[in-house]
Amino acid sequence: MSLPFKKPSILPGFWPAFSYTILYLSLIVLIPLSAVFLKSVTSTWSHLWRVVTSPEVVASYRLSFGASLVAGMISVVVGFLVAWVLVRYQFPGKALADALVDLPFALPTAVAGIALTSLYTENGWLGRYLAPLGIKVAFTPLGVVVALTFIGLPFVVRAVQPVLADADAELEEAAASLGANRWQVFRLVIFPIVRPALLTGFALAFARALGEYGSVIFIAGNMPMKTEITPLLIVTKLEQYDYAGATAIAAVMLTASFLLLLAINALERRTRKFMTMG
């Protein structure tokens, strides 16, 4: 029987590096996560089941996963555009714009939440112009999407930017000289190159959005059944001393997120493979 590993590369240090990775993952990721699962089994299964399937909690899954998905998709479109502009064009203040992209990373999310809320309430700077059109942002699911897009955007930009910068302009020129129009160049040359990066960016933005708490609770309004996100319900359960219930919801969320990320990663690997087979 052979080892279940592919033959390690000729680079030395495979085993130390591999053991370190496993140790690190265990300490930082796996042990805290298993604590979540262990803590939730301190209660009876019927209680846990009742908690994770109660209407309020189910409504929050819908909002959390739905809004994160939408926000991730918006981030992909807008993030690609931003990355494109930053890579392909020269304009005054480009360095500034480039730095601005990272700002949502550094800003405490509560600050972002408060700022977005003041902008979008019915008497806020933007909200007052949207209100007559019948568009309410603050204290609606739309507000949740806005906050999640804000924090998700840099992930997509930073994932796509280097790939786009590395893409050879010659490929596009070659395509054009062979008679491809602009749309065909984009669809058949540029898009396949950046697709894995877009997927990575989407996965990161989506995962970040799922776990986001600080900015959302300010803009969401936190109405039961309507605008309560799942992380808020975990906190609420904790405040009611229902530790088991809180960890049960956390476990559901973890499992679902893990499966989704696994699927996205698999998709990403497939596109990469497809590309190299070319």
Count the helix, strand and coil residues of the chain and give each as a percent rounded to the nearest 5. 80, 0, 20
Q: Minimum distance between the CB of residue 68 and another protein, rounded to whole angstroms?
A: 21
Residue selected from 33, 126, 221, 256 as contacting another protein according to rule CB under 8 A? 221
What SS3 class is residue 230?
helix
52-74 burial, b at 16+ Cβ within 10 Å, e below that, comes to beeeebebbbebbbebbbbbbbb
Residue selected from 241, 276, 277, 278 as contacting another protein according to rule CB under 8 A? 241
Cα 104 vs. chain centroid, distance in angstroms? 13
Phi, psi for 244 (deg, rounded to 5): -60, -45
**CB contact at 8 A, 147 and 209:** no
> Per CB under 8 A, does 231 bind another protein?
no
- CA gap 256, 185 in Å, rounded: 37
Contact window for another protein (CB under 8 A) among 24-32, 150-158, 235-243, 262-270: 235-243
Which residue bears the tokens 């973890």?
254
> Per CB under 8 A, does 196 bind another protein?
no
Nearer to another protein, 114 or 256 (CB): 114
- CA gap 258, 261 in Å, rounded: 5
Q: Minimum distance between the CB of residue 270 and another protein, rounded to whole angstroms?
A: 43
Using CB atoms within 10 A of its CB, is residue 129 exposed (0-12), middle (13-18) or buried (19+)? exposed
DSSP alpha helices (H): ranges in 44-140?
A: 45-53, 55-88, 94-101, 103-106, 109-120, 127-130
Binding mask 27-66 for another protein (x = CB under 8 A): ------------------------x--xxx----------
> Per CB under 8 A, does 239 bind another protein?
yes
Residue selected from 33, 176, 238, 254 as contacting another protein according to rule CB under 8 A? 238
> Per CB under 8 A, does 76 bind another protein?
no
Q: Minimum distance between the CB of residue 143 and another protein, rounded to whole angstroms?
A: 11
- CA gap 116, 129 in Å, rounded: 15
Q: Minimum distance between the CB of residue 243 and another protein, rounded to whole angstroms?
A: 9
Nearer to another protein, 147 or 232 (CB): 232
Residue selected from 36, 98, 107, 118 as contacting another protein according to rule CB under 8 A? 118
Nearer to another protein, 158 or 237 (CB): 237
Q: Which of residues 120-149 bind another protein (CB under 8 A)?
A: 121-123, 139
Q: Which residues bind another protein (CB under 8 A)?
A: 51, 54-56, 117-118, 121-123, 139, 217, 221-226, 232, 235-236, 238-242, 245
